[in-house]
């Protein structure tokens, strides 16, 4: 299968690299010239829990270079998904399928609208990865990938992509309830990610601190209430237990929102907590804790994205500061 990876950060590079290694024809689109040059010169390097590999393939900054593809993986940050779709819209006219693989709620629907195509799939992943150098990704954790589509006519392609990813070594399953899958992942992200971003703590450190664990529980409960009001069928009957279990199982992980803060980048808080707050307001549901963490992360984000270099980092908030700022106690 001819595959394009649109948005090759850590996750895009990991999926693109392993798919290429399994024999698929992959072109990696990279937004930054250092990555493009490194990959074209020496190949993509994968390190970490999946072993060490150097994989030669083409990287380019120009979407116009791609004239044909069977599948485009959109693995950008959620806030860049629409622009990524616009850049690849010429392929939609040729019958290409698009797989949106990222955090957040509703991005696949926006992508389908921009493309003017229903050939859009959606996936979530629990894989962990970090970009550790230009052209180098370190796999930090192995987890399940769940894949489906809001458009029933795409089910055959869903199964084909699932089989292809399994052949590449991913733990992947298809789902006919992709909305529930996305919301279940979002509930976990709403509980854990902002707390990690604010405190600078790993998932395990958050889990092991009772006060932070209690905040995660309350954030999960708020988000689950919104999902319930929308009639979303979650993939777990106990969202709190699921979120805490995820934090414990991924104890060494530095979540993606914290990674963004550490790299002085914009976070995905708008597509995660921000989208939950927006939907809650439409439903007349109060989400005071979610609104507090949203405001704190946005304030932190606005400061770190002004830094000229990554060494100029703000110190993380203490547990006392986070608890006091969120709960008002």
Q: Which of 248, 259, 181, 294 is nearest to 11 (CA)?
A: 259
Given a contact cutoff of 8 angstroms between Cβ atoms, the answer to whether 176 and 52 are in contact is no
| Euclidean distance between CA atoms 308 and 305, whole angstroms | 8
Residues in CB range of 197: below 8 A, 6 or more apart: 255, 257, 258, 260, 261, 267, 269, 297, 300
Q: Which of 177, 145, 183 is nearest to 275 (CA)?
A: 183
- Is 185 tagged catalytic? yes
| Euclidean distance between CA atoms 296 and 179, whole angstroms | 28
**Residue the block writes with tokens 């405190």:** 199
Question: 58, 77, 185, 210: which is the annotated catalytic residue?
Answer: 185
| Euclidean distance between CA atoms 242 and 183, whole angstroms | 13
The set of catalytic residues is 185
């Amino acid at each position: 299968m001819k595959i394009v990876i649109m948005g090759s950060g850590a996750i895009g590079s990991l999926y693109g690299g392993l798919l290429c290694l399994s024999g698929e024809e992959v072109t990696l689109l990279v937004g930054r010239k250092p990555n493009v040059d490194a990959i074209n010169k020496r190949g993509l390097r994968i390190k970490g829990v999946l072993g060490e590999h150097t994989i030669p393939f083409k990287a380019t900054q120009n979407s116009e270079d791609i004239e044909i593809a069977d599948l485009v993986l959109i693995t950008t940050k959620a806030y860049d998904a629409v622009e990524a779709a616009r850049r690849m819209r010429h392929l939609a006219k040729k019958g290409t399928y698009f797989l949106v693989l990222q955090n957040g709620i509703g991005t696949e629907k926006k992508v389908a609208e921009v493309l003017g195509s229903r050939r859009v799939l959606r996936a979530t992943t629990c894989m962990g990865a970090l970009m550790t150098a230009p052209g180098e990704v370190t796999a930090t954790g192995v987890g399940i990938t769940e894949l489906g589509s809001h458009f029933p006519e795409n089910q055959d392609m869903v199964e084909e992509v699932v089989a292809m990813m399994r052949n590449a070594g991913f733990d992947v399953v298809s789902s006919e309830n992709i909305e529930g899958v996305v919301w279940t992942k979002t509930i976990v992200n709403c509980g854990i990610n902002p707390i990690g971003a604010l405190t600078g703590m790993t998932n395990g450190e958050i889990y092991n601190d009772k006060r932070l664990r209690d905040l995660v529980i309350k954030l999960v409960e708020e988000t689950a209430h919104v999902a319930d009001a929308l009639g979303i069928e979650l993939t777990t009957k106990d969202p709190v237990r699921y979120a805490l279990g995820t934090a414990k199982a991924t104890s060494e992980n530095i979540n993606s929102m914290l990674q963004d803060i550490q790299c002085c980048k914009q976070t995905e808080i708008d597509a995660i907590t921000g989208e939950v707050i927006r939907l809650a307001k439409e439903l007349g549901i109060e989400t005071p804790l979610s609104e507090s963490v949203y405001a704190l992360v946005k304030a932190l984000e606005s400061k770190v994205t002004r830094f000229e270099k990554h060494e100029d980092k703000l110190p993380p908030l203490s547990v006392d500061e986070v608890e006091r700022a969120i709960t008002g106690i």
